[in-house]
Chain A
Amino acid sequence: MKHWFWIAIILGVAASAQAQSPAELLKQARDAYDKGEFAAAISAYQSLLQQGLESSELYYNLGNAEFKAGHIGRAIASYRRALKRSPEDEDIRANLDYVRSFVNQPRTGTGNPLVQLGNQVLTWFSGQTLAVLALIVYWALAFLAAWLVLSRGGIPAVRWVTAGVSLVFLFLAGWASLRIVLDRTRQWGVVVASRAEARNGPKADYQIGFVVPEGREVRVLGREGDWIAIGLPQEGYKGWIQSSEILMDE
């Protein structure tokens, strides 16, 4: 009888935890964050993600809680995921830049401000968003072309407008293609272990080639079982670390 009582209690607690709505979990996370209970805030945000829900704001808040809990690597990974969903969000960029200042990481890209701006602009929108924009412009272009066919050439102004829309479409299509290609060929991740030992092969038997500090953003080059091949483009190093030591962009 006593056993049944405890089983009922445990099931009741589990059911109540499962029954928490997303709104309740968000409130719980924010309250915990305000009290300085960052581990509890992280747990609540993770529960939402485990329910299959997500947004750039959720990843941003999770990044804040991770940073306050001292998990610099996990904070950077969360901000990167948030930025991927809302590349235009200035808050995410500000916090990401601030947290990156705690990591000894060489500056990416060249010092040329135009190149840096280009890199930034390239990541403003996701590949799919750009593709949808390109499709909308493409349909507009098709209607203009149909009008030109039906009107047997139309008026010069319409022809100029059609040419302009064509250029816009080509620009968007090129941008979307470049972004999609980069997304598929250049995957990045963040080291979340305090000191990830990169070995010369995907096994613990291989020698340690170099050691990567927590928070360092690395290129993901491949996977072999539980080992991830990483690259440090600035230094020109390549090595293998355990998959538990890295969080990849999603």
Chain B
Amino acid sequence: MEVFKPGMTSLRRIFFSGGCCLCLLAGNARAQDLMISAQAQPRQVMVGESIQLVITIEGRANLSSEPVLPDLQAFQVYGGGRSSNFSFINGQVSSSLQFTYILVPKHSGTFTIGPVAISHGGKTFSTEPIAIQVGSGSVPAPQAPSASQPQPAAPSVGKHAGEAVFITTSVDRHAVYVNEPLTLTFRFFSRLPVLAQPQYGPPATSGFWAEDLPPQRQYQTVINGQEYQVIEIKTALFPTTSGKLTIGEASLAVQVEDFNRRSFDPFADSFFRSFFSTGRQVTLRSEPISIQVKPVPLAGRPADFSGTVGKWSLSAKLDRREAKVGEAVTLEVRIFGEGNVKSVGKPLLPPMTGFKVYDTISSSEVQKQNGRVTGVKTYRTLIRPEISGHLTLPPLAYVYFDPVSEKFEKISVPGLTLKVLPGDTQAAAGGPAVAPAASAPEVQVMSKDIRYLKIKVPLALPQRPVKVVYWILGFGLPPLALLFLWWQQKRKDQLAADPRYARRLAAGRSAHRALQQAQQARKKRDAKAFYALLSQTLTGYAADLIGLSRSGVTQRELLQQLAARGIQADQLDSLAQLLDDCDYARFAPGQPEAGEMERQEKLAEGLLTHIRQVLERVPRT
């Protein structure tokens, strides 16, 4: 059962008692370049219910100051958020500031929210007053449940059961996705009078984006037959990263009556006891809470996933239906729904043919009602049509992850059409003024796009890399060829410089050739030619190897030189005999026998071989 108790500490004043109803009223002040307006909704509430007061300041100036609120003693006031928008249209800056407050009436009756004022440029602008009616009837849950309404279920207090004062923190779920909200509830239980304003130390929420959820609640509950006053504060937490995160301990420093004295003074009046008691200071702490944060699943994730989590809707509009070429038009895309509004990602704008697209600015508006965080994120993009006609912007799509259904959802809006009228030349040029030549017409850029397809498309199998062996051959052969060429050249030079050596090298080849000719002559039965060639071969070969003149050398001289170089005597005799036989056969009449010629040829071959073997061992002179 809850009872309204005036004079309690401020944390405890915000609830209780019956309600009435009130109204919404709006007032505004307009000036040449500034306008301030206030809106309150709803206009009729019960005590303990919340009213949203929105102050909007618009103007062509860069606004930065905050409005001054009037005296609002009849309400508990909570800061609800601030959002701002800036836009540059046709070179002029336009801005708007929006301040949101949550007001919770403390008493029933009719109250007036006085003029909200703001100073700008030496002038003060203010809104009209707004009348609010607060009913004194029963307070609906959850703000302040009345006696006629069911009591909230007694929260689980675990090990604290039986303690006079304690605090608890709890969450509505322990496993969530990244950016999926969870509600952290802080409760202060006391069955002793609180003597001073408690000092609340909120828990550390590293890894979370926190949004407070006003108003705080106060009610009574019964635990194990004992009546407690409960103060409840809720906070929405959005995990920003996956993994195991921890919500730290909360603390509350509170001064309560020292109940030890009470036990020694059982007859003292409790009122006076409270009045004169100095109390004692206690610091209460809660337990940390672990949260398992799951990443957004990779399976089935569309390529155009925006990264946003929650439950969202999409809308888009242009600020006008008709514009001239070159005029600025604002495309406003609104993503609204439930979730962490501030983390809502930018929608991907498709290529807009015929438009020049400028930067996008965003603003967000967060609302907190009934323990839920909702709101809208607005993206405004300045676009400038560059051609005339009925231009259609492509459809917009946005993909987010719904943690409830655990599915990726795609929301879209159809394409928007803008009627573009021809503008003046300067606007059509789509940029700053360019002074045209005196008389020659200038090139006008009417639209910008990618270049067209290639008409001729040759197709081929992929170019395979050239094999390494070809590279080795390609780069290896030329130096080898050059080396060989150089060696040949060098050898040629050497032979030219040493004729004896050249003769010696060529002796074998010429002897072989001469022997072959002699053999042919023998086969033709040309005895004279056969013996002449045989004699020349033997004499020439020996002369080449020794270095004597072929034509000038005599048989005697030749035999002496060969004997001096180690040719055996019997071989010399054979040679002398063969040379004599050759001379005789050349000049004597008659035809020798075929067998004799063949024998002499073989003898010559044997002699040549012997001479080569012996003379090759002898160093050159």
Contacts and interface: CB of A to CB of B under 8 A. Distances in A.
B463 interface: yes
A98 B302 CA distance: 26
A150 B485 contact: yes
Contacts of B452: 64
Interface in B453-475: 453-454, 456-463, 465-466, 471, 474-475
Interface string A102-140: 100000000000000000000000001001100100110
Contact of A128 (B305, B449, B465): B465
Interface string A185-218: 0000000111101000000110110010010000
A52 interface: yes
A207 B243 contact: yes
Interface of A, helix, strand, loop or mixed by DSSP:
helix
Given A57-B456, A195-B305, A98 B448 contact: yes
B422 interface: no
A48 B478 contact: no
A60 B453 CA distance: 7
A53 B298 contact: no
Interface in A35-61: 48, 52-55, 57-58, 60-61
A95 interface: yes
Mostly helix, strand, loop or mixed at chain B's interface? loop
A84 B171 CA distance: 56
Interface in B375-425: 394, 399
Contact of A138 (B449, B456, B460, B478): B478
Contacts of B454: 57, 60-61, 91
B451 A145 contact: no
Nearest to A134: B475
Contacts of B298: 204, 242
Nearest to B297: A204
Contacts of A242: 298
A96 to B, nearest CB: 9
Interface residues of A, number: 50
Interface string A141-155: 110011001101000
Interface of B: 241-243, 295, 298, 302-307, 345, 348, 350-351, 394, 399, 448-454, 456-463, 465-466, 471, 474-475, 478-479, 481-482, 485-486, 489
Interface of A: 22, 26, 30, 33, 48, 52-55, 57-58, 60-61, 64, 67-68, 70, 72, 91, 94-95, 98-99, 102, 128, 131-132, 135, 138-139, 141-142, 145-146, 149-150, 152, 192-195, 197, 204-205, 207-208, 211, 214, 242, 245
26 contacts: A26-B459, A52-B461, A54-B459, A58-B459, A61-B454, A64-B451, A70-B348, A70-B351, A72-B351, A91-B451, A98-B450, A128-B463, A132-B466, A135-B475, A138-B474, A138-B475, A139-B474, A142-B478, A142-B481, A146-B481, A149-B485, A149-B489, A193-B303, A194-B306, A204-B298, A205-B242
Give 10 closest A-B pairs by Cβ, nearest first: A142-B478, A194-B304, A57-B454, A53-B459, A57-B457, A70-B350, A95-B450, A195-B307, A61-B453, A193-B303
